[in-house]
């Protein structure tokens, strides 16, 4: 099943606390399944594909992820055992369902631990216009100081360079290539 590469997935930071996060292969397979999952209901070869389903095979995952078939099977077993996915085998492919796909990929704004949505929290922590203006002035002053100091250094370096004769400069340029 050919996938469109448009759109995005949501990956929550709670993934860092997930029991399989330290298992590189299981994590790679799970994130790959999230990326490949159907984002809307459809049909393929007479099979109903629901939101959160992936039509694939172990061989296909092996090629896509660069893992051995055994590593892919082990990762899928981990994900099945802990309820992240279910697998329905067909004769030439499998339909892997990401169990809580809607929970993982909800487009609703989820409240944070403080009871605010991520957007509200971001707006609250965003600097005010006055803060931004002060930062811009400070940044401009720092750049000006850097440029002034850099120009002085270049002038001094130019003055020192004038003390070398041509043979020494060629020798230095050859030496600096190594």
Return the pLDDT at 123: 53
Distance from C-alpha of 118 to C-alpha of 110, rounded to nearest angstrom? 7
Q: Work out the burial of residue 52: count CB atoms within 10 Å of its CB; fewer than 13 is exposed, 13-18 middle, 19 or more buried.
A: buried
Placement of tokens 């990929």 in the chain: 105
Model confidence pLDDT, tens digit, residues 27-70: 999 999 999 999 888 888 888 999 999 999 999 999 999 999 99
Token output for 3: 């996938």
Return the pLDDT at 25: 97
Model confidence pLDDT, tens digit, residues 95-137: 999 998 888 787 665 545 555 555 555 555 555 556 666 656 6
Question: Is pLDDT larger for residue 1 or for residue 79?
Answer: 79
Cα–Cα distance list, 135 to 121, 131, 141 (Å): 21, 6, 10
Q: In this model, does residue 178 exceed pLDDT 50?
A: no
Nearest to 30 by CA among 90, 89, 76: 76
Distance from C-alpha of 173 to C-alpha of 161, rounded to nearest angstrom? 12
Question: Is pLDDT larger for residue 2 or for residue 83?
Answer: 83
Share of the chain above pLDDT 90, in %: 39
Q: What is the pTM of this model?
A: 0.59
Return the pLDDT at 66: 97
Cα–Cα distance list, 47 to 43, 53, 91 (Å): 5, 11, 12
Token output for 131: 């803060």
Return the pLDDT at 84: 95
């Amino acid at each position: 099943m050919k996938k469109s590469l448009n759109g995005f997935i949501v990956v929550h930071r709670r993934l860092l606390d997930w029991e399989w996060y330290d298992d590189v292969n299981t994590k790679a397979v799970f994130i790959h399944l999230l990326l490949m999952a159907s984002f809307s209901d459809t049909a393929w070869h007479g099979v109903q594909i629901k939101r959160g389903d992936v039509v694939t095979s172990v061989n296909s995952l092996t090629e896509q992820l660069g893992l051995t078939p055994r590593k892919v099977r082990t990762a899928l077993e981990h994900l099945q055992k802990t309820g992240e996915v279910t697998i329905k085998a067909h004769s030439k492919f499998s339909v892997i369902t990401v169990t809580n796909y809607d929970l993982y990929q909800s487009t609703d704004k989820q409240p944070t631990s403080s009871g605010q949505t991520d957007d509200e929290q971001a707006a609250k922590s965003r600097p005010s216009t006055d803060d931004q203006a002060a930062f811009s002035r400070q940044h401009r002053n720092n750049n000006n100081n850097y440029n002034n100091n850099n120009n002085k250094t270049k002038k001094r370096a130019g003055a020192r360079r004038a003390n070398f004769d041509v043979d020494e400069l060629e020798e230095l340029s050859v030496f600096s290539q190594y």
